[in-house]
Amino acid sequence: MIRRFFVEKKPGFNTESVDLAQTFRRILNLKKLENIRILYRYDIEDLSDDIMEQVVNIIFSEPNVDHVYTDEMPLSKEEKVFAIEFLPGQYDQHGDSAVQCIQILAGRRPLLKVAKCVVLQGDLDGKDIDKIKQYMINPVDSREADLGPRTSLTDAVKNPAPVAKIEGFIDFTDEERKAFAQTMGFAMSPEDLAFVQTYFKNDEKRNPTVTELRVIDTYWSDHCRHTTFATQIQSIDFERGPVNEAVEKAFAHYDETREMLYGSETDRPITLMDLACIGTKDIKARGLVPDLDQSEEINACSVNITVDHDGQDEDWLLMFKNETHNHPTEIEPFGGAATCLGGAIRDPLSGRSYVYQAMRLTGAGDVTAPIEQTLHGKLPQRKISQEAAAGYSSYGNQIGLATGQVFEVHDPGFLAKRMEVGAVIAAVPKKNVRRDVPVPGDIILLVGGRTGRDGCGGATGSSKAHTEESIHESGAEVQKGNPIEERKIQRLFRNPELAQMITRCNDFGAGGVSVAIGELSDSLDINLDKVQKKYEGLDGTELAISESQERMAVVVSESDVDRFIALGHQENLEVTPVAVVTDTGRLRMNWRGDEILNLSRDFLNTNGAKQYTDLLVQEPGKPQPFKTTGDIAGRTQKMMGDLNVASQKGLAEMFDATIGAGTVTMPFGGKYALTPQDGMCAKIPVEHGDTKTCSIMTYGYNPGLAEWSPFHGGESAVIESLAKVVAMGGDFRKTRLSFQEYFERLGQDPSKWGRPFAALLGAFE
């Protein structure tokens, strides 16, 4: 038997309804809308009457602020109603939290479905209601729910078919290969797929499985292997002009540095990656970064520091990481921005460090533009910005992470695709971090969340161009964050006993099992049947590449497995052995008794066919002068009306900068707490006692300058960020830089390749 309850906030507490009504009157121009009511509908399998009463009055509602209705919601004849629910397979944090609370009361996890019912009052026609539905329902993750009674709370599950082999693949012609790649939606280039075909034809002498091709596509994606940055540049040309004189001088400086560092390696290719990293190689060769922490781990930037702990010096590691989630946030703002922060946290977390402060820098078009001006096939800029801010702040506030600085840059260029950047800073006592090479017999444990379809293809999707179809076709690529689960992992990894058991660790980001576990050792046997699932019906390929969030893969000695699992259970975390380190030189996966993947590690490490390009650095045009027409008052008003100049305190106040009581500089200072800080500063998170050791993080970015001249944009970004560190009292000599590129798809256009090249030259100079 299924029982149904509706919960509605009482007047005075119904802020969600009031805010929505104001938004629709102002943004959708629905002047005849009189009122909105929001009711949450709960369908739950029958529990005993005493448990059900506690569930309704303790978990579903609070008697002092909520009305509760049984079976049906009260509606007048004039009111119109529709309901919204998550798509099957999408993670519903609201419902999951309720189920966990019920489990405490009832001793078991009941089936539960939640829907949001929207009740409209006013003289609204069908077009008005469609406007509201279109604004509220994002087809990427939600749908309109049936208002009728449910007969079942169990989603229909199809038994997954065996993983198929691609018959005839090794004999495909060029045209057949091209058509196949288009059908499969691969991110691989045609050259990559031809390279794969040659490998299976000559080395394996067999046709590949679907899983093998999906895993290869994921491994070699731009997101996982930075294939664009590894592309070899064959020729470099500069358009003549006064601006490019400086660019050419910087290139000559870069060339001299290459000769000094690489010496006789004259055939070493020029790539964007080499240009991005050569500054660090240079100062390292000159002995200017003695505090650099080096290891085979590739989790986050890591620096050795000395921390004052109650007057005693201790050796610590400081880690930092920045991450973008541009495409996911474009199509599913809340989840995309939330997992931008979640993904950034997991990198230093997999380095066993504790993340204690975050920064958010985003780019949007005009968020004040009327909704009628929304580009076809896109969500409104206002909706993207508001929901993305809500997603990022929700995740940070729930996991318990202070967000020290928040800023949104506004520029028409971001109409093409939003920029969503999250940066975090973390620290850990050095004695807690053990770094060894996995040996045969070591066990790989999966810690944390279960696997679902959310995030399948996210690694390849993150680098795709945004099209009108993206919002409908890419929903599965957007992961769903679970900050509560990640918070439990943070607590677990702060335990010195457990941290010191970990030989090596990876977070489950892009690529899921295939990359997170696949990168831990050169030889692995993975049993996909051991991977815990959110629901049934997942096939072997989905289990291999799903990017479901809040999971970690750790390598431990076989003798430590039982103790590690016991410590995980103390934090209410599932810990499951899923793989073993071998000495075969191959990555192998088994599912339902079949070997669905068996690939040479040497082949995977090639990162695909070598890519080549030519490059042209264009001469920038003349800078656009600032228009100074009108009187001083008019010019001042126009300047102050610029969204980049206007106060963003309302945005920043969605985020909590005080969590953990370690923040030194609040986001806004001055007598009236209205002056934005140049950056963020926080104390190192010692668990017991106190410290006077702090970290500072700032950013530098000017979209107008970067658009005019990428070279000067890159140069300015470095100078601006360092100047802010100095202005906050920091030492620029102890500063480390982390670059985040943001450019259009480059394709085979030499002038497009010239833009990131010029930006990196500016940063190098």
Q: Which residue has the higher pLDDT, 557 or 473?
A: 557
Asked if residue 470 has pLDDT above 80, the reply is no
- Write down the pLDDT at residue 472: 37
Instruction: Give pLDDT tens digits for 169-192.
Output: 999 999 999 999 999 989 888 899
State how far the alpha carbon of 702 is from the alpha carbons of 363, 644, 728, in Å. Answer: 11, 10, 20
Q: Which of 264-278, 487-501, 519-533, 680-694 has the lowest mean pLDDT?
A: 264-278
Give the bridge partners for 507, in sequence order: 552
- For the chain, the average pLDDT equals 90
The pLDDT of 601-606, averaged and rounded, is 93
- Write down the pLDDT at residue 478: 63
How many CB atoms neighbour CB 185 within 10 A? 13
Alpha-carbon distance of 361 to 725, in angstroms, equals: 17
- Write down the pLDDT at residue 456: 67
Asked if residue 98 has pLDDT above 60, the reply is yes
**8 A C-beta contact, residue 350 and residue 156:** no
The pLDDT of 568-572, averaged and rounded, is 95
- Write down the pLDDT at residue 473: 38
- Write down the pLDDT at residue 196: 96
Per-residue tokens: 703:
């979209």
Among 81, 103, 11, 83, smallest CA distance to 40 is for 83
Among 696, 732, 687, smallest CA distance to 316 is for 687
Asked if residue 206 has pLDDT above 50, the reply is yes
Q: State the SS3 of 477-516.
A: HCCCCCHHHHHHHHHHHCCHHHHCCCCEEEECCCCHHHHH
Among 517, 190, 472, smallest CA distance to 331 is for 472
The pLDDT of 146-152, averaged and rounded, is 90
Quick one: the chain helix, strand, coil %, rounded to 5? 40, 25, 40
Alpha-carbon distance of 474 to 240, in angstroms, equals: 43
**Left if phi > 0, otherwise alpha if psi is -120 to 50, otherwise beta: which for 315?**
beta
Alpha-carbon distance of 517 to 350, in angstroms, equals: 12
The pLDDT of 519-528, averaged and rounded, is 94
- Write down the pLDDT at residue 543: 93
Q: pLDDT tier at 466 (50, 70, 90 boundaries)? A: very low
Alpha-carbon distance of 421 to 443, in angstroms, equals: 35
**8 A C-beta contact, residue 727 and residue 735:** no
Helices and strands: H and E segment counts in the chain: 27, 24
The pLDDT of 263-281, averaged and rounded, is 89
The pLDDT of 219-246, averaged and rounded, is 90
Q: Which residue has the higher pLDDT, 512 or 758?
A: 758
Rg over CA atoms, the chain: 27
Q: pLDDT tier at 474 (50, 70, 90 boundaries)? A: very low
Q: How far apart are the first and last CA of the chain?
A: 70
Strand intervals (E) in 135-199: 142-145
- Write down the pLDDT at residue 590: 97
Asked if residue 467 has pLDDT above 80, the reply is no
Q: pLDDT tier at 386 (50, 70, 90 boundaries)? A: very high
The pLDDT of 7-35, averaged and rounded, is 92
- Write down the pLDDT at residue 628: 58
Asked if residue 688 has pLDDT above 80, the reply is yes
- Write down the pLDDT at residue 477: 53
Q: pLDDT tier at 310 (50, 70, 90 boundaries)? A: very high
The pLDDT of 503-523, averaged and rounded, is 89
Asked if residue 489 has pLDDT above 80, the reply is yes
Phi, psi of 203 (to 5 degrees): -90, -50
The pLDDT of 394-403, averaged and rounded, is 95
Asked if residue 234 has pLDDT above 50, the reply is yes
Alpha-carbon distance of 6 to 56, in angstroms, equals: 10
- Write down the pLDDT at residue 463: 47
- Write down the pLDDT at residue 158: 73
pLDDT above 90: percentage of residues in the chain: 69
Q: Which of 14-23, 248-257, 366-375, 723-732 has the lowest mean pLDDT?
A: 366-375
